[in-house]
A and B are shown apart, each in its own frame.
Chain A
Amino acid sequence: MPVRIWRTPLNIEKAKLPKAEIHIIKNQCKGCGFCIQFCPKDVLEESEEINERGVHPPKVVDESKCVLCSFCTSICPDFAIFVVEKLCEEEC
């Protein structure tokens, strides 16, 4: 059996987890709730707001918990939510 050697990665200080930027096209949402239900990190919840279609679109509870899996993007039947990696400078 190979022995696993744990070492501290050299760039641990500099390495940053990618941050998510979640876009919700509110008026395109039909309110099925799939994105909210199936997000593995409970990033989304139903908002109070009523959109042009008369339903409650999702809202972001905590963007920092998002792991960019894009499951919400894929499961949305209405192309109303998508997640991209945040483009940012040094500190963000």
Chain B
Amino acid sequence: MTNLQEFERHPLANYLRVERFPHIWCEGCGNGIILHCFVKALDELGANMDKLVVVSGIGCMGRVAGYIQCDSFHTTHGRPIALATGIKLANPQLTVAVISGDGDLFAIGGNHFIHAARRNVDMTVICSNNFNYGMTGGQCGPTTPLLSYTTTTPYGNIEHPFNLVHLAAASGAVHVARWTVLHVKRLTESIKKALQKRGFKFIEVVSPCPEIYGRRNKFGKAIDTMKRYREIAEIRHGYAPSKAEITSEKIVVGEFIDIEKPTYGELLQGQFMRFNKG
């Protein structure tokens, strides 16, 4: 049997563009696990793939849009949330998910993130946080921890990083969660929950980049990073995002925020109805 024939028997093959595999990600890269959890969530929800749109930006995680068997956009760097906003407003029937990297969503795309969260635009944003720009060779970005090494911080990073869950919560997201790629079942459950909820939902996924970030910081192989997650991850549902800073000693994971408020699309529709009575 060829690879492809075997792969077609995988229980999730229907959700993937199998002919494009093996994917480009390095050995032990967490991005493949995030993709798995996402399609597994779709499978468990019995999602209608004709009503789903996946948008990603540029970067290693950005390549994900090309692997899912639905209408998907691999858009320009930093702009997936802007594109997703347009898609959702143009066709409110669609379920829109953005899956992208920490650099894409929080460096060049940072403004789109905070304002879409503030407006409560209906979409699910999943961020692969590998603490650097993997694709372009491992530069320092807004999530790079203090004192860690990257190509552009050879003496150690002196910039304070964003705490992404705090940023999302403070900006107005209605659902905020964080997991590591080791928490496959819980991450899948979180994605299911987010996809079913209205409003701006954010899930941060702490993910190893063994080839670039891991190598520079002497983290060993991907499996060593995974074992480290097992040691230092602490599940705390409902924990205050402001206190959930990631350190080398502790990664607080869990579902932190779950609130309700009207979405931008609903308010827009309401206003449209009010002014178009005649």
Contacts and interface: CB of A to CB of B under 8 A. Distances in A.
Contacts of A34: 28, 222-223, 226
Given A79-B21, A84-B11, A74 B184 contact: yes
Interface in A3-22: none
B7 A77 contact: no
A77 B29 contact: yes
Interface residues of A, number: 23
Interface in B24-39: 25-33, 36-37
Contacts of A27: 3
Interface in B195-234: 221-223, 226-227
Contact of B37 (A53, A71, A74): A74
B28 A77 contact: yes
Nearest to A82: B10
**Size bracket, chain B contacts:** 20 to 34
B184 to A, nearest CB: 4
Contacts of A55: 27
B28 A32 contact: yes
Nearest to A32: B28
A23 B22 CA distance: 16
Given A79-B12, A79-B32, A84-B11, A28 B3 contact: yes
27 contacts: A23-B10, A27-B3, A28-B6, A28-B21, A28-B22, A32-B28, A32-B223, A34-B223, A37-B227, A38-B226, A71-B184, A73-B36, A74-B33, A76-B32, A76-B33, A77-B33, A78-B21, A78-B22, A78-B23, A79-B7, A79-B16, A79-B21, A79-B32, A79-B36, A82-B9, A82-B11, A84-B11
Interface of B: 3, 6-7, 9-12, 16, 21-23, 25-33, 36-37, 40, 181-182, 184-185, 188, 221-223, 226-227
Given A25-B10, A74-B185, 15 more contacts: A28-B3, A28-B21, A30-B28, A31-B27, A32-B223, A33-B221, A34-B222, A34-B226, A38-B182, A38-B226, A53-B22, A77-B29, A77-B36, A77-B181, A82-B9
Interface of A: 23, 25, 27-28, 30-34, 37-38, 53, 55, 71, 73-79, 82, 84
For the complex of A and B, the 3 pairs showing the least CB-CB separation, nearest first, are A77-B32, A32-B28, A74-B184
